[in-house]
Amino acid sequence: MMRLTMNLKSSAEALGTEPEIFLEFLKREQVGGILRMDDQWQVSIFTLAGLLNTSPGDLLELMEDYALGEMIEEVEGDELFEGQEGWQVYQSYLAEAK
C-alpha cells in the first residue's frame, strides 16, 4: 500500500527548509494532518500538497521523478555492455558466483 505520510525531514526538504523551522511553523499555525508516532513526526501528503498549492498526485509524481533521477545518477558511471559482450560479462558473473 502507498504511504500517505512523509517524515518531517523529507517534508521540510520538499519545502526547502529545516525540519525544526517547519515543525515550529506547523505548531504555530496549527496545521492539520500532522501525526506524532513513536516520537517521530509524520506529515500527511495531503497537508503537504495543500501547503504547496498542488494536488497530492502531482506532489507524488514530482517526488518519484526526483527519486528516479537520483537513482540514475548513482549508476551513471557504471559500465554498459550490449549484445554479445553483455552476455559474456553476465556469464562470467555467473561463473564467479558458483
Q: What is the pLDDT of residues 68-80, one digit of tens each?
A: 888 888 877 778 7
Question: Are the C-beta atoms of residues 62 and 48 closer than 8 Å to each other?
Answer: no
Question: CA-CA distance, 30 to 25, in Å (whole number)?
Answer: 8
| Domain regions of the chain by residue span | 5-76
Here the cell at position 38 is: 513513536
Q: Do 89 and 81 meet the contact criterion of CB atoms below 8 Å apart?
A: yes
| pLDDT at site 41 | 95
- Each residue's pLDDT, cut to its tens digit, for the chain (98 residues) gives 678 899 999 999 989 999 999 999 999 999 999 999 999 999 999 999 999 999 988 988 988 888 888 888 887 777 878 888 888 888 888 888 87
Q: What is the structure's pLDDT at 90? A: 86
pLDDT value at residue 71:
86
The whole-number pLDDT of residue 1 equals: 67
| pTM across the whole model | 0.66
Query: Could you tell me the sign of the dihedral formed by the alpha carbons of 17, 23, 29, 31, in that order?
Result: positive
Please check whether residue 31 is in contact with residue 47, taking contact to mean a CB–CB distance below 8 angstroms. Answer: yes
